[in-house]
Structure 1
Amino acid sequence: MTTADAGPEDTLDLKLPPEVLALFAEDPAVRPAPPAALDDLLDGVADWSPADTSAGTFRLVPIDLDRDLPIVTHWMNDPTVAEFWELDGPPAIAEKHLRAQLDGDGRSVPCLGVLDDTPMSYWEVYRADLDPVARYYPARPHDTGIHLLIGGVSDRARGLGATLLRAVAEQILDHRPACARVVAEPDLRNTPSVAAFLTAGFRFSAELELPGKRAALMIRDRAFRHLL
């Protein structure tokens, strides 16, 4: 479930024209406020409460490169993961991908998925409306996206992915009141992934031609939350 473009470093950059910047510099009364904490674009993922699931207690823990790079690199070099993420190879490859998000403005937060205190998955929670994927579907303000990989082979093909996707979608809707939709764009060839999203209450909305892949646009609507 890779990002639609080269990565978070290619997210949409909104720049003010020079004359507006000059106005800010000249008049303190209209000078913009200091930037908010980086995580604010996603309402503080690090502080989201754990989710109780049928598989155990699950929480998202934002990536710490010094601590987590070895395990993420290990997972990325699994052939099944590498087929879709294309981040296999030495640690520097995964590090570049992670650092682009960690050094960004907070519109994408890479996390470990921790189940009963055991790291077992990698997640990216991102602002889909601010991501390059927004160029390819009718995005709405505060659309929040998910990318996911299950790390261990023993955790795959037993319904765990759907359980955790449902839990994270609920966390997003709980903690991001402005978000009306949780979205994802798994590769259409990745049928287990598409099936997991469907089981987790996402609906198939469209096929997207994204750079490097043909994707299934999956959407989980807040409006139908009580029915799922």
Structure 2
Amino acid sequence: MTTTEAVYEQAVDGFGTLRLARVDPARDAALLHSWVSEERARFWGMRETTVDDVREVYAHLDSLTTHHAFLAYRDGEPVALFQTYEPGADRVSECYDAQPGDIGVHLLIAPAGAPERGFSARLVKGLTAFALQDHRRIVAEPDAANDKAIALLVRAGFEPGPEVVLPEIVLPEVHLAEKRARLLFLSR
């Protein structure tokens, strides 16, 4: 059972208690590295990173007021990495008309021992409830080749938008490769 302070907690029918806690780069880097370095996480773009790289990435993210990273827990066990961001402060804003009240999201579901029917759908339901508390619309931009993520979001009610190319970002503190993405939207 985790003892980190929750920023959100919700009982999700058929799932259990979903808790979100801010990522602590020092505490969580090894766990996150174990997730992002797997082949199944190739679309996350961090497969070649070290634990120190992951710590640095999330320390940088933690320093921003526009981007936030959370560990999602199910009944005390970490099950996903969930990131939110203001689209106007992100490269996605170069690809669509960001509106006031929009929030961007990224989701990486943790590896599971055995598949559990409905797990991902119930997790997304809880996460979207969190994201829509103070926002009118969610934008997601999974890799255009990530058919599983796109299908999951569509089943959760997201409307498919255009396929776009997110531009490369090269800054001293961050490098993001150009990415072909599918925009998806969910309104409150």
TM class by smaller structure: 0.7 to 0.9
Structure ranking higher on relative contact order (CA contacts 8 Å, 6+ apart): 1
The TM-score, its normalising length taken from structure 2, stands at: 0.84
For 1:91 and 1:150, how far apart are their aligned partners in 2?
18
Matched, 1:214 2:180: yes
Trace 1:66-85 onto structure 2 (pairs within 5 A).
Answer: 66-81=26-41, 83-85=42-44
Matched, 1:193 2:149: yes
C-alpha change, 1:186 and 1:149, in structure 2 (3 Å) is same
Letter of the 1:95 counterpart: R
- Matched residue, 2:46: 87
For 1:213 and 1:53, how far apart are their aligned partners in 2?
35
For 2:34 and 2:62, how far apart are their aligned partners in 1?
19
Q: How many Å apart are 1:161 and its aligned residue?
A: 2.2
The TM-score, its normalising length taken from structure 1, stands at: 0.70
Larger-Rg structure = 1
For 1:130 and 1:173, how far apart are their aligned partners in 2?
18
Q: Gapped runs of 5+ residues in structure 2?
A: 168-177
Matched, 1:134 2:90: no
For 2:115 and 2:105, how far apart are their aligned partners in 1?
18
Identity of aligned residues (%): 29
Report the structure, 1 or 2, having the larger helix content: 1
Report the structure, 1 or 2, having the larger strand content: 2
> How many correspondences in the alignment?
173
DSSP 3-state at the match of 2:9 = coil
The answer to whether the 8 A contact 2:20-2:72 is kept is: yes
The answer to whether the 8 A contact 1:128-1:142 is kept is: no
Question: Aligned-residue CA RMSD in angstroms?
Answer: 1.9
Q: Gapped runs of 5+ residues in structure 1?
A: 1-44, 223-228
Comparing 58-67 with 195-204, which one deviates more in the overlay? 58-67
